[in-house]
A and B are shown apart, each in its own frame.
Chain A
Amino acid sequence: MTKSEQGHHRERQDPHWIEWLTGIVSALLVAAMHGWLTWEAFTRAPTPPDLVVTVLTVEKTTAGHRVAFDIYNTATTTAAAVTVVGRLREGNRVIEENDVTFDYVAAESKSAGAILFQNDPAGRTVDIQPAGYTDP
């Protein structure tokens, strides 16, 4: 408990045991957090962004077709302004190309997006690739 007088507060000399218990649990949590972070800081090597795209679904929309995908960044550095280009191929010929930009794909994280095509991807090859990024 804290005693207040004239705008000043004075901590009690004889605190309830729950205050000490809370304090000790908090101290353990803070210490555990620091221990974990220090361990990670020593063991986690900084690697440049490593981006992988996984196509999830191809669906028809009102005015075209949507190819939904996940993009993973498996490295320990975040990529910014990640451009993903989607190409629809028939044989060797590219019949449609669209792109989308992610503001960020965080380190060791997943983001989701979609590319829209006018032409039906059925029976054609859908090729979705990350095209570039900047450092945040």
Chain B
Amino acid sequence: MAGEATSADDTKNEFNSFVTGLGRGVAGALFLALPMLMTMEMWYLGFTIARERLLLLLLVNIPLLILLAHRIGFEETFTWREAVRDAIIAYGIGIVTSVIVLAALGLLHADMPVSEAIAKIALQSVPASIGAMLGRSQLGHDDTEGEDKETPYHSELMMMAAGALFLSLNIAPTDEMMVLAYKMSIWHAIVVTLLSITLMHGFVYAVSFIGGHELDPETPWWHAFVRFTLPGYVVALAISVFALWIFERLGDSSAVEIMLSVIVLGFPASLGAAAARLIL
């Protein structure tokens, strides 16, 4: 709540809840980034990834974190200034967690080139920072929002992008992703796209999860399908292209081959986008 919690004896409470928020952030970073910290391809990317693409990924992460912070945050953030502060803290937690885990697993050595070590940490800090940010919403759940709030359409799309990016980062670096694209026929790909779109719509509207969306009884179902699900799927595919390009998975392939790998990655990405609408 914006103004209510700022009486004089609350300074200590505020500090305590901030520390709790940090703890949840670390827990979230560990829970959600550990699969990536323990994936071989992610370590190799530390020395193979093109530095300008890595930089772009790190920069794109910042507005996503700020948006997530504005939405959930470590504390109830109401101004964009606080959101920026929380995003920086989450990024920091992501970096520190990555350093600790990578070092503990013996993936950082003293005789390793500095640029390789930094690239490894920087790459892992992106999912870890998103994890840190989600930690509060996932693990905290002291939902104080009894009142109505409205999500503008563009933030709804941005949240889907964040969810899609998070799952893409899990899967885009793995070799399995490319093998699937090589093995499947175009018919398989068409089935995967239909499955992605159906599941996306179903998760958000049909299955009654907490956080699910519902429509007014008189609104036809396809209204939400056209306004939210299809744009969400396009966002998920765009994020897939971005993730594949960042990890140099597109290569010198023909358009059909690129499309197949984008569709394979678009499957988890679209589920990530749908999950973001449910959770956030």
Contacts and interface: CB of A to CB of B under 8 A. Distances in A.
Interface of A: 1-11, 13, 15-16, 18-20, 22-24, 26-27, 29-30, 33-34, 36-38, 40-41, 44, 46, 78, 80, 103-104, 106-111, 136
Contacts of A37: 186, 189-190, 193, 259
Most chain-A Cβ atoms within 10 A of its Cβ — which of B215, B216, B234, B259? B234
B7 interface: no
Classify the interface of chain B: helix, strand, loop or mixed: helix
B91 interface: no
Given A8-B214, A26-B234, A41 B190 contact: yes
A10 B179 contact: no
21 contacts: A1-B150, A1-B153, A2-B156, A4-B150, A8-B214, A9-B213, A13-B216, A13-B219, A15-B227, A26-B231, A26-B233, A27-B226, A30-B193, A37-B259, A41-B190, A78-B257, A106-B253, A106-B257, A107-B256, A108-B256, A109-B257
B271 interface: no
Contact of A11 (B175, B210, B219): B219
A39 to B, nearest CB: 9
Given A1-B151, A37-B259, 10 more contacts: A4-B145, A5-B148, A13-B219, A15-B153, A22-B153, A33-B193, A104-B178, A106-B253, A107-B256, A108-B257
Nearest to A77: B182
Contacts of B147: 5
B111 interface: no
Contacts of B257: 78, 106-109
B105 to A, nearest CB: 25
Interface residues of B, number: 49
Classify the interface of chain A: helix, strand, loop or mixed: mixed
A133 to B, nearest CB: 12
Interface string B170-183: 00000100110011
B4 interface: no
A22 B226 CA distance: 8
Interface of B: 143, 145-153, 156-157, 175, 178-179, 182-183, 185-187, 189-190, 193, 197, 210-216, 219, 223-224, 226-228, 230-231, 233-234, 251-254, 256-257, 259, 277
Contacts of B182: 78, 80, 104, 106-107, 136
A4 B151 contact: yes
Contacts of A18: 153
Contact of B224 (A11, A26, A44, A109): A11
Most chain-A Cβ atoms within 10 A of its Cβ — which of B157, B213, B214? B213
A16 B150 CA distance: 14
B230 A30 contact: yes
A30 B185 CA distance: 19
Nearest to B253: A109
